[in-house]
Structure 1
Amino acid sequence: MGSAGVEAAPASIPTSGLCLLLFITLPCCDTTCGGEEQKADDRSRLHDAGFRQNRSLYSCRMQDLVDETDLALLNALQVAPRGSWAILGRALDLDPATVARRWRRLQTEGYAWVTCAVGPPRHNTFCLAYIEIECVRGEFDAVQDAFVRQPEVVYIHHLTGPRGLLIVVARSSPTLISEYIRDTVEPMPGIRSYHAEIRTAGHVEPSRWRLRSLDQDQQRALEAGTEAEKRAHDIRLEAVDQQIYQLLHEDGRMPFTTLAERAGVSEPTVRRRANRLLNSGILRLRCEVVQSVSGWPVSAVLWAATPPTHVESTVQSFAALPQVRLCCSLTGPRNLLLMVWLRSLDALPQLEGTLYERAPELTIVDRAICLHTAKQLGRVLSREGRATAQVQTTLEAFPVL
């Protein structure tokens, strides 16, 4: 369906029954969904007092909880995605073997993964389309499933509102976006209508978003061991670079020996070329985490408008807000799109107030809550948000020039 609602409880269910259910469910999150050893000490890493409560309310359906030590590890991997277990362990005051064991569990069970995205120096070599889709009643799942299998569809979000599906499509040119819409979207059964806009500029990227589970000393220790990006726009890419991109997209922590074996080149060659791609910002690694256990369990999309002459200053006014995960310019009258992660549903109007205070020239034209993300940068996500499968990324987003 193109919209979502909440049904009232049947009249036959007594009020006392509902109260009893709440009484039983909420303590379960605190007593049976805990982490591993030293959980009490790990709680000191929480960013604020409401973090544990929010995480419990939204994650008690998960088979295993991610504890605060796990979140600190994931935050460390956001800072140093290919950091060694020894480096990560020193920053977290953990044994390297413990760090490796925790990561294996998180990755294997789909709670977290390290992947790769094309960085800003190459954003002008491909085209992203944000397409809002209204589905015929009863056809939503079929339409969503059809898009999940397509490599050019990098994101799929189920939203509130009349157009219940937002997909992000990557092709090498506007002409090929037109071809995709004409050949794939328009004839697809189950689609009632659609609205497409093209991204014209990226301002805030998900690769820069952080969990904020580390203290300042831990953050500095990890940043000291990473090399700052040195932008290089004149690097000529070859087919082996495309292979490295696809392999790092599959697993951003793939060892150089495995990268070399699968790319069919020597280890020194793959090490040199991978480091060049990463250090130049052409490729960016990012550690993703299941949203429901991140402490930021609610996501929303904001469509906004600001005068073209104020776009840069407007974005700068809110880019550092912890809620802002993505911001880009779009064609059309709604020329800014924001993806935000929130502590709770009631944080959305609070955030909008903050945005207006920081950027009075900004007008929020529309907003929607993201009910479920079905695909995230090529990862297929379950209802709980865990990664269950991967669709190989399209090379149209990383062409050889």
Structure 2
Amino acid sequence: MTESVVLDGIDRGLLHALQLDGRVPFSRVADVLGVSETTVARRYKRLRAVAALRVVGVANGVLFGRTAWTLRLRCTPDVAMPLAKALAKRPDIFWVHVMSGGAEISCHAQLAPGEESILLEKLPRASRVLDVSAHSVLNAFTLPSDWSRLRCLDDDQVASLRPEEPRPARTEVDAADLTLLALLAVDGRASCAELAAQARLSESTVRRRLDLLRHNGVVSYQVDIPAAVLGFGTQARLYLTVPPHALVDVGKRLARHEETSFVAATTGPTNLVAVVACRDSGDLYRYLTERVAPLRAITSLETAVLMRTVKQG
């Protein structure tokens, strides 16, 4: 069980290093942590086996013409898991959670032009789907790749591992790029040789395309590990309403909370969404009453506890 995994300083240093650069060579991590490259590789393999660690390549579809959405579905509990699993099979849908005792599903989507209406028209017809709400993501204040709970390295160690900052730019992607993005979504640390073999491209072509996609911000690499492994057994989504004049301020304040792994402004009746991770239900209560409650600009707040994560990344 992932909940029983014990992480020491080397494990946590490795996780922080991968958060900074998901494709960082183990030799560089070893130099920073003061251990052997073999030790780092062995720890990574162990965490993959016993802690469900993955490094995944995450595409920023907005940069090649897609739109970002967060969806919320209310359904009868008996169909929540089958529907969540069906949604998770779609390559354009990610972060699929079952919430609220199995009566709700939340997920994110990056949809090509014209696909928004097709997907939303299909969902209400699904068996026992009671309600669907779709919110266009307007701005992200923090993303899972920035989650502060993974940080443990000092400033000098971070500086030696941090890669060059991407320069987000609208990018034309072709079928080969989309194939590489799909492969990276499964294993963000797959070698260029492995990617080349699966995509039927030359290794030099793969290396050049990956460098360009990363430089343009089209792909980034995220650490995918259950929050419970880090000691945070209770996660929840917060749906908040904030007056437009206070939206940016509240969004930035929430993003600075160590509990939040995702905060974004959206369209819809609630215009701010957040994902938080706490140690237990008591910790969540304290977070809501002591950290969120003082943000007086918030006019409404709804909390939905995540029961199961079906798909991440």
TM over 0.5: yes
Instruction: Write out the 4+ residue segments of structure 1 that deviate beyond 6 Å after TM superposition.
Output: none
For 1:162 and 1:100, the matched residues in 2 are separated by 38
For residue 177 of structure 1, what is the aligned residue in structure 2?
Answer: 116
- Give the 3 Å change call, closer, same or farther, for CA 266–376 of structure 1 in structure 2: same
1:105 correspondence with 2:46: yes
- Give the 3 Å change call, closer, same or farther, for CA 151–118 of structure 1 in structure 2: closer
| Letter aligned with residue 201 of structure 1 | N
For 1:127 and 1:163, the matched residues in 2 are separated by 27
Residue deviations 1:111-167, cap 9 Å, x none?
A: 200001124862x82223333222235333333333333333312212127942223
For residue 292 of structure 2, what is the aligned residue in structure 1?
Answer: 355
Tell me the SS of whatever aligns to 1:211: helix
| Letter aligned with residue 278 of structure 2 | L
For residue 194 of structure 1, what is the aligned residue in structure 2?
Answer: 132
State the structure with more CA Rg. 1
Residue deviations 1:247-268, cap 9 Å, x none?
A: 2212111112222333333323
Match of 2:23 among 65, 82, 87: 82
For 2:92 and 2:207, the matched residues in 1 are separated by 28
Q: How does 1:143-162 map to 2 (within 5 A)?
A: 143-160=83-100
For 2:171 and 2:81, the matched residues in 1 are separated by 42
For 1:115 and 1:319, the matched residues in 2 are separated by 22
Q: How does 1:120-139 map to 2 (within 5 A)?
A: 122=63, 125-136=65-76, 138-139=78-79
For residue 37 of structure 2, what is the aligned residue in structure 1?
Answer: 96
| Letter aligned with residue 137 of structure 2 | R
Q: Alignment identity in percent?
A: 22
Match of 1:245 among 172, 181, 199: 181
Tell me the SS of whatever aligns to 2:125: coil
1:365 correspondence with 2:301: yes
For residue 9 of structure 1, what is the aligned residue in structure 2?
Answer: none
For 2:273 and 2:132, the matched residues in 1 are separated by 17
Q: TM-score, normalised by structure 2?
A: 0.88
For residue 114 of structure 1, what is the aligned residue in structure 2?
Answer: 55
- Give the 3 Å change call, closer, same or farther, for CA 138–356 of structure 1 in structure 2: closer
Tell me the SS of whatever aligns to 1:242: helix
| Letter aligned with residue 79 of structure 2 | E
1:215 correspondence with 2:153: yes
For residue 263 of structure 1, what is the aligned residue in structure 2?
Answer: 199
- Give the 3 Å change call, closer, same or farther, for CA 93–323 of structure 1 in structure 2: same
For residue 287 of structure 1, what is the aligned residue in structure 2?
Answer: 223
- 8 Å contact kept, 2:79–2:128: yes
For residue 104 of structure 2, what is the aligned residue in structure 1?
Answer: 164
- 8 Å contact kept, 1:132–1:165: yes
Residue deviations 1:232-291, cap 9 Å, x none?
A: 415433333222212221211111222233333332332222122213322110111122
Tell me the SS of whatever aligns to 1:67: coil
- 8 Å contact kept, 2:234–2:284: no
For 2:282 and 2:23, the matched residues in 1 are separated by 36
Segments of 5+ residues of structure 1 without an aligned counterpart are: 1-32, 34-57, 378-401
For 2:35 and 2:48, the matched residues in 1 are separated by 18
1:299: how far off? Answer: 0.8
- Give the 3 Å change call, closer, same or farther, for CA 130–80 of structure 1 in structure 2: closer
Segments of 5+ residues of structure 2 without an aligned counterpart are: none
- 8 Å contact kept, 1:80–1:223: no
For 1:142 and 1:245, the matched residues in 2 are separated by 26
1:205 correspondence with 2:143: yes
1:59 correspondence with 2:3: yes
For 1:305 and 1:162, the matched residues in 2 are separated by 24
- 8 Å contact kept, 1:75–1:211: no
For 1:67 and 1:106, the matched residues in 2 are separated by 9
1:110: how far off? Answer: 5.6
May I ask how many residue pairs the two structures share in their alignment? Answer: 311
Tell me the SS of whatever aligns to 1:233: coil
1:326: how far off? Answer: 0.5
For residue 340 of structure 1, what is the aligned residue in structure 2?
Answer: 276
Q: For the aligned residues, what is the CA RMSD?
A: 2.5
